[in-house]
């Protein structure tokens, strides 16, 4: 073995170290997911202040992804960012509620129109949500009834196969999620909502565009009225 070969064997090889640092955007999205769930579930009080330092400590992340997450939620209408004051959970006013439910009704109407315009209409996904909601009503499982109700509306919009439409729908819908149980408070509400879902699905199947649009708008406005009634009882007037 010559001297050069010996030196190559004795000299440690330089290792290239790669740090698998988490994607800061991914962390921000995860933080946004956590905060979104806390807000829409009602665990964070409407109008309550969100303090970056406290959130950073609770979630064990730096304040940078916290700020990024707050901006995501601002775009979704879930929080308000007030200059020199900070971030606050948005307070939905009756006026805001009406505007958002009108938008949701228009988007669902458009989605129904898109389905009707297709040569072949596969409504099995919608029918599955209706079947599930029927089962949950029989069990009187409010949590699952609310989820099945949401699944119907989400599925209808997603079936339009338009990602921008889905994004716009979510922006309109997210701030109303805290009031989901209000729209489905009693057994009569459950049955009425379920019947509306059936009628909307039947109108799409029959390619009855005018009826489908009317039902989509009417269904959302009924949901809206229940929320507005609640807001007038619990929140300051003036919206």
What CATH number did the domain enclosing 159 receive? 1.20.120.530
Residues 212 and 103 in one domain: yes
Residue 13, in any domain of the structure: no
Phi–psi pair at 207, nearest 5 degrees: 60, 40
Residues 105 and 53 in one domain: no
Residue 89: beta bridge partners? Answer: 79
Residues 109/216, Cβ–Cβ less than 8 Å:
yes
* Higher pLDDT, residue 225 or 6: 225
What CATH number did the domain enclosing 57 receive? 1.10.10.10
Predicted pLDDT of residue 16: 46
Owning domain of residue 188: 94-234
Q: Say what the pTM is.
A: 0.74
Comparing CA positions, the residue from 72, 95, 100, 99 lying closest to residue 176 is 100
pLDDT in tens, 135-178: 999 999 988 998 999 999 999 999 999 999 999 999 898 888 77
Residues 75 and 120 in one domain: no
Q: Which of 49, 74, 89 is the last residue of a domain?
A: 89
Q: Which of 89, 110, 125 is the last residue of a domain?
A: 89
Q: Which of 73, 89, 105 is the last residue of a domain?
A: 89
Q: What is the domain count for the chain?
A: 2
Residues 174 and 71 in one domain: no
Q: What's the rounded mean pLDDT across residues 173-199?
A: 82
Predicted pLDDT of residue 184: 66
């Amino acid at each position: 073995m010559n001297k050069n070969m010996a030196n190559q064997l004795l000299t440690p090889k330089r290792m290239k170290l790669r740090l698998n640092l988490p994607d800061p955007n991914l962390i921000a999205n995860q933080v946004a997911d956590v905060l979104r769930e806390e807000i829409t579930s009602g665990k964070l009080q409407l109008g309550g202040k969100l303090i970056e330092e406290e959130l950073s400590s609770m979630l064990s992340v730096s304040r940078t992804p916290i700020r990024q997450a707050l901006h995501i939620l601002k775009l979704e209408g879930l929080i308000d960012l007030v200059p020199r004051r900070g971030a606050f959970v948005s307070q939905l006013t009756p006026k805001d509620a009406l505007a958002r439910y009108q938008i949701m009704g228009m988007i669902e109407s458009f989605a129904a129109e898109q389905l009707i315009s297709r040569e072949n209409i596969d409504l099995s996904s919608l029918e599955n949500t209706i079947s599930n909601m029927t089962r949950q009503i029989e069990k009187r499982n409010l949590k699952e009834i609310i989820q099945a109700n949401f699944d119907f509306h989400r599925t209808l919009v997603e079936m339009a196969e338009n990602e921008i439409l889905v994004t716009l729908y979510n922006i309109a819908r997210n701030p109303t999620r805290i009031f989901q149980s209000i729209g489905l408070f009693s057994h009569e509400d459950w049955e009425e909502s379920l019947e509306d879902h059936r009628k909307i699905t039947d109108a799409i199947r029959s390619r009855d565009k005018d009826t489908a649009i009317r039902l989509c708008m009417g269904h959302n406005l009924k949901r809206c009225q229940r929320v507005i009634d609640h807001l007038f009882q619990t929140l300051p007037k003036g919206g």
